[in-house]
Amino acid sequence: MEKVKTVKYSLINNVFYVYKGVAKHKPYLIALLFPAVFCTALSSFIWLFLGKYLVDSIGSGMPFNEMITQILILTGLNIVCMIGMNAVTFGKEPAAFYVRPMFMLKRNLKSINMFYENLEDPEVLDAMEKSRASTRNVDVGIEGIIRFTIDFCSGIFTCILSAVLLCRMSLILSAAVLLCGILEYISVDRASKREKFLTNDSVVYEKRKLDHFKIVSSDFAYGKDIRLLGIAGKLLDTQKELHAKLNAGEKKAGSVRIWSGMFNRLLELIREGFLYGGLVYLIIKGSLGIGDFLLYAGCVHNLAGSFLSLMKTLAKMRKCSAEVNDYRSLNEFCNESKERASGLRDSEEYEISFENVSFRYPGSENYALKDLNLKLTFGKRLAVVGANGAGKTTFVKLLMKLYQPSEGRILLNGRDIRDIDTSCYYSLFAPVFQDMECYAFTLAENISMKPEEETDKALAEKCLEQAGLGEKLKTYAKGIDTPMLRILHDDGIILSGGEKQKMALARALYKDAPMVVLDEPTAALDALAESEMYERFDSFVKAKTAVYVSHRLSSTRFCDHVAMFEDGRLAEYGTHSELMDKKGKYAEMFAMQAQYYKEEEYDENAVA
């Protein structure tokens, strides 16, 4: 199985990567970048020149009318710059807010398309958590790059204008200001890297675990156990421990910020002392007038402030760039995991063969399935039985390409399924799992699993009736258009466990795929009810290939073959009669369960 590779792209590479996405989703933001830079930088100099001209004009006896004219011109220019800055900000905010969700959707799509088995790999789960952190708010990762790039470019322009003016007065003064700025940048950059490690990289597992327990604490599905089994204290204690670890990292990061801030304040004090001492010396020497003093003092502050801001922004951009690397690491991992495969070949009959297939879960040294050789013939029924943990569910997930074999191969009509496009391969199966999930869509959409406009509502109703929910459907005022769950609609319905299992059967019937897989969907039912449901569903399957999985043997009597798993291996295989005559493990298990399937003891009214 592929491993997540931590990518380390340069800041420039990540800026181009993010703005490529900006250009795709909000191209006008690129056009706004240039006026944003120009207006922001120019506005900081207009008042400096205005102050110089006022002082020089008063000293030279300039007529009042000319003075007013110059003031009005500079003020008007400043107003134009402010309008330009506001226009840019007005365009930047919604664009940035819009672009970040587009990157989030791209990441979610990649996550959905990755191999299912990766969702059980702690390394991948940590990578997903770090990727989510890169799009969590406005000042990190993707959106941070968008915002800080504009600030950075404005800072560069301001620094250049300030440096050009100051170099005319004193190269030494300009160099001293820049040196202080560089030292401040080094301090801020080191603090930012350390902060990211302490508050994110070193505690990504704790953050993921805390998010899980927060969801569990408020999830309706866990509500009964939490209250009746008295585990609220355990949940809270666990969250307190996790918060303590996270807070310890935040505390250390706070100390880093404090020491870095103190060092930067010291540098600012040195810079200001050097600045005013130099300017006063030049005035005493007669090299500088009062108006020039105001201009150059302002330029020094502009240079120092903009350079410091520039360096801080660069440090933030580097931090955001590291977070974008986290985003891209997961994104490129998903790309690597998506096979370059072709679609299905035209066929009306599909045969699947397992050839020496073995599988181990991520991080496990033991095989969940070992040396499996099995053939699934089109149109036949296969019962997969065995005790819990025997390998039945692993077999099913390998069959449906949710897992990739660790060893061996699985063939579809003689072709390795790894060479078949996954979405095409999935279309062959109509699965019914033990854990069935409902979505906050309408009842019809929950059956078709398609948008409303693509849903055949009449077919959805028919499938519900076949699955045994026809009478229940009649009680809903909105019928097949009834919303499910109470997330988006207050009048949404919530099905019981047995009803959810029947809905899962309705989904399988609606999909009408050539292969049907029932992976212990009736585990919560008693043996007779399970047997009755299997037989009723089998009557609708007709000529399809069907796989019935259970730790009970209710499905074996009407299946063509039985595969019995034990300790991850195929222990016995054959027809029901053959295995009974063999008098092995299967016959022993069937004899133990036989009392539950006697027709004379079956009470239809009790089951209903």
pLDDT tens for 7-49 read: 888 999 999 998 888 888 777 777 766 676 676 666 666 666 6
Looking at 5-27, list the stretches that DSSP marks H as alpha helix, in order from N- to C-terminal side.
11-25
pLDDT score, position 552: 66
Give CA 280 to chain center in angstroms. Answer: 58
Helical (H) or strand (E) element with 375: strand 369-376
pLDDT score, position 409: 94
Q: List the single range of 156-165, 310-319, 511-520 with lowest mean pLDDT.
A: 156-165
User: Do residues 552 and 533 touch, judged by C-beta distance below 8 A?
Assistant: no
Residue 597's pLDDT band (cuts 50, 70, 90): low
pLDDT score, position 155: 79
pLDDT score, position 264: 75
**CA-only gyration radius of the chain, Å:** 35
User: Do residues 156 and 302 touch, judged by C-beta distance below 8 A?
Assistant: no
More confident residue, 556 or 516: 516
Q: How far is 446 from 508, CA to CA, in rounded Å?
A: 11
What distances in angstroms separate CA 11 from CA 141, 192, 196, 198, 558, one per listed residue? 12, 15, 16, 21, 64
SS3 for 382? strand
Q: List the single range of 144-158, 265-279, 534-548, 570-584 with lowest mean pLDDT.
A: 265-279
Mean pLDDT confidence for 546-565: 80
Output phi, psi for 407, to 5 deg: -145, 155
Contacts of 140 (CB under 8 A, 6+ apart): 133, 134, 319, 320, 323
User: Do residues 129 and 208 touch, judged by C-beta distance below 8 A?
Assistant: yes
pTM of the model: 0.64
Sequence length of the chain is 608
DSSP secondary structure code for residue 304 in this structure: H
Contacts of 186 (CB under 8 A, 6+ apart): none
Mean pLDDT confidence for 102-116: 81
pLDDT score, position 338: 47
Give CA 420 to chain center in angstroms. Answer: 26
Could you give the angle at the alpha carbon of 113 between the alpha carbons of 407 and 146, nearest 5°? 130
Does residue 362 carry a pLDDT above 70?
A: yes
Q: Tens of pLDDT along 382-426? A: 989 888 888 888 999 999 998 889 899 999 998 999 888 888 888
Q: Which residues make up the CATH 3.40.50.300 domain(s) of the chain?
A: 339-428+516-596, 433-512
Does residue 276 carry a pLDDT above 50?
A: yes
Mean pLDDT confidence for 162-177: 68
End-to-end CA distance of the chain: 46
Q: Tens of pLDDT along 462-502? A: 988 888 888 888 888 888 888 888 776 777 788 877 788 88
Which tokens sit at 331? Answer: 């994104």
Letter string b/e over residues 21-43, b meaning 16 or more CB atoms within 10 A of that residue's CB: bbeebbeebeebbeebbbbbbbb
- The amino acid sitting at 382 is L
SS3 for 503? helix
Whether the CA torsion 504, 221, 530, 605 is positive or negative: it is negative
User: Do residues 404 and 115 touch, judged by C-beta distance below 8 A?
Assistant: yes
Looking at 168-285, list the stretches that DSSP marks H as alpha helix, in order from N- to C-terminal side.
171-199, 204-218, 220-228, 232-285
pLDDT score, position 250: 83
Listed residue (442, 412, 405) closest to 426, CA to CA:
412
pLDDT score, position 569: 92
Does residue 342 carry a pLDDT above 90?
A: no
pLDDT score, position 235: 76
Does residue 77 carry a pLDDT above 80?
A: no
Helical (H) or strand (E) element with 57: helix 28-60
Write down the CATH number for the domain with range 339-428+516-596: 3.40.50.300
Question: Which CATH code, of 3.50.50.60, 3.40.50.300, 3.40.50.1100, 1.25.40.10, is assigned to 433-512?
Answer: 3.40.50.300
pLDDT score, position 554: 61
Residue 601's pLDDT band (cuts 50, 70, 90): very low
Range with top average pLDDT, 236-240, 260-264, 453-457, 539-543:
453-457
CATH homologous superfamily for the domain 11-337:
ABC transporter type 1, transmembrane domain (1.20.1560.10)
Q: Which residues make up the CATH 1.20.1560.10 domain(s) of the chain?
A: 11-337
